[in-house]
């Protein structure tokens, strides 16, 4: 059984978590980053990051995370893959338990940097067809739909970014949104809606999946007059928003009604010694550059907490 003691344990292996680890390790704090088995950081699902300063040609999301990881390791950060099930507070710190084994870790401080994951539609048979016609990641699965017809559900920046990527592969792409107007920024709308293989369907929501043993398409409902239409397609990509990866913190720290962690100006949560940063934090801008900055902010707060001037 492992029961190592650390100055800080960072839960989450995304831009916020690795940025925090770089700073705490450089400050000579014994640092462990725990990355998830189950939920990959959103960045590794990004084909090209075009808006991070210092990469004028863009950079692949996986490559970006690998560089952060290598930099954190360079300064002595330990990295472990596992999923945290519980954080228990005691007089002088915290006990962190993992789901994959009987291992637990003791730490003086904790930084939560678990990010967020895609929301699901919540319709019948959605779980049944995940990976068999339903996807939440165009970068992961787009190549499977070469010269096929697909639908993307959503009208925001994520949906349009995923759709632009898919147009490189698919024969026909339908973008379906419950509002008459899309919420994506104008440049993304311009890039997508001028493509010849793209058609919009608004204001509609997905009511049902067509197909019993295999995915055949979807039944759509107009939100204004309740009329319905059938759309036959080879696949559906769901891009309707996110939810934070904070379920394991229920009852421990204060969160808003959506599960985002509430912090103070030092990024400390309602529990002294536990900090939060990045996309899992209430009020975060939800951009990679901001996640890195918040990771640094949380790390500096931890350093000050452990090594007060």
- Per the structure, the complete domain to which residue 161 belongs is given by 134-238
Does residue 126 belong to any structural domain of this protein? no
Do 139 and 224 fall within a single domain? yes
How would residue 51 be classed by pLDDT, with cut points 50, 70 and 90?
Answer: confident
Q: One of 83, 103, 125, 141 is an active-site residue; which one? A: 141
pLDDT at 2: 52
Does residue 72 belong to any structural domain of this protein? yes
What is the average pLDDT across 201-229?
96
Please write the tens of the pLDDT for every residue from 177-189: 999 999 999 999 9
**Close Cβ partners of 151 (under 8 Å, ≥ 6 residues apart):** 173, 174, 175, 176, 218, 231, 233, 235, 236, 237
- Which one is predicted more confidently, 50 or 147? 147
Q: Is the pLDDT of residue 49 over 50?
A: yes
Of 214, 238, 262, the residue at which a domain comes to its end is 238
Q: Which residues pair with 35 in a beta bridge?
A: 81
Is there a catalytic annotation at residue 141?
yes
Burial label, 54 (beta-carbon count in 10 A; 0-12, 13-18, 19+): exposed
Do 251 and 185 fall within a single domain? no
Do 155 and 171 fall within a single domain? yes
Q: One of 83, 103, 125, 140 is an active-site residue; which one? A: 140
Do 109 and 197 fall within a single domain? no
Which range, of 45-49, 178-182, 272-276, 303-307, averages the lowest pLDDT?
Answer: 45-49
Q: Is the pLDDT of residue 286 over 90?
A: no
**Dist. CA 270–CA 60, nearest whole Å:** 36
Of 221, 238, 255, the residue at which a domain comes to its end is 238
Q: One of 137, 233, 280, 292 is an active-site residue; which one? A: 137
pLDDT at 1: 44
- Which one is predicted more confidently, 12 or 48? 12
Does residue 127 belong to any structural domain of this protein? no
Helix (H, G, I), strand (E, B) or coil at 143: helix
Do 234 and 259 fall within a single domain? no
Do 166 and 302 fall within a single domain? no
**Dist. CA 36–CA 13, nearest whole Å:** 7
Does residue 202 belong to any structural domain of this protein? yes
How would residue 140 be classed by pLDDT, with cut points 50, 70 and 90?
Answer: confident
pLDDT at 117: 87
Is there a catalytic annotation at residue 103?
no
Structural domain count of the chain: 2
Is there a catalytic annotation at residue 47?
no
Q: Is the pLDDT of residue 173 over 70?
A: yes
What is the average pLDDT across 122-150?
90
Mean pLDDT value across the chain: 93
pLDDT at 269: 98
Q: Is the pLDDT of residue 285 over 70?
A: yes
Do 213 and 298 fall within a single domain? no
Q: Token pair of 53, please?
A: 């300063």
Which range, of 20-34, 90-104, 233-247, averages the lowest pLDDT?
Answer: 90-104
CATH number reported for the structural domain that contains residue 91 in this entry = 3.50.50.60
**Close Cβ partners of 165 (under 8 Å, ≥ 6 residues apart):** 47, 138, 139, 142
Do 99 and 184 fall within a single domain? no
- Which one is predicted more confidently, 44 or 31? 31
Do 162 and 211 fall within a single domain? yes
Does residue 129 belong to any structural domain of this protein? no
Cα-based distances in Å from 165 to 45, 241, 251, 303: 12, 18, 40, 41
> What pTM was estimated for this model as a whole?
0.79
What is the average pLDDT across 219-232?
97
Of 220, 238, 256, the residue at which a domain comes to its end is 238
Do 257 and 271 fall within a single domain? yes
Does residue 124 belong to any structural domain of this protein? no
pLDDT at 101: 66
């Amino acid at each position: 059984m492992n029961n190592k003691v650390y100055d800080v344990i960072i839960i989450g292996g995304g831009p916020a978590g690795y940025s925090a680890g770089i700073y705490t390790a450089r400050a000579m704090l014994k640092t462990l980053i725990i990355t998830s088995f189950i939920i990959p950081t959103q960045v590794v699902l990004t084909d090209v990051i075009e808006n991070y300063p210092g990469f004028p040609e863009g950079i692949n999301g996986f490559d970006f995370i690998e560089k952060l990881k290598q930099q954190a390791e360079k300064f002595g950060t330990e990295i472990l893959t596992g999923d945290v099930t519980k954080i228990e507070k005691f007089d002088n710190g915290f006990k962190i338990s993992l789901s994959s084994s009987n291992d637990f870790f003791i730490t003086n401080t904790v930084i939560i940097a678990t990010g967020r994951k895609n929301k699901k539609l919540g319709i019948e048979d959605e779980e049944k067809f995940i990976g068999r016609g339903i996807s939440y990641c165009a970068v992961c699965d787009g190549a499977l739909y070469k010269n096929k017809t697909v639908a993307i559900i959503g009208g925001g920046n994520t949906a349009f970014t995923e759709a632009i990527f898919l147009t490189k592969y698919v024969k026909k792409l339908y973008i379906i949104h419950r509002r008459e107007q899309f919420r994506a920024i104008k440049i993304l709308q311009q890039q997508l809606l001028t493509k010849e293989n793209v058609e919009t369907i608004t204001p509609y929501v997905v009511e049902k999946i067509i197909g019993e043993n295999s995915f055949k398409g979807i039944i759509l409902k107009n939100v204004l007059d309740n009329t319905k239409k059938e759309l036959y397609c080879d696949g559906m990509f769901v891009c309707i928003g996110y939810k934070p990866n904070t379920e394991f913190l229920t009852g421990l720290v204060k969160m808003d009604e959506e599960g985002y962690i509430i912090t103070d100006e030092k990024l400390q949560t309602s529990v002294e010694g536990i900090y939060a940063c990045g996309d899992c934090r209430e009020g975060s801008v939800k951009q990679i550059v901001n996640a890195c900055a918040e990771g640094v902010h949380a790390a500096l707060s931890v350093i000050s907490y452990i090594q007060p001037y």
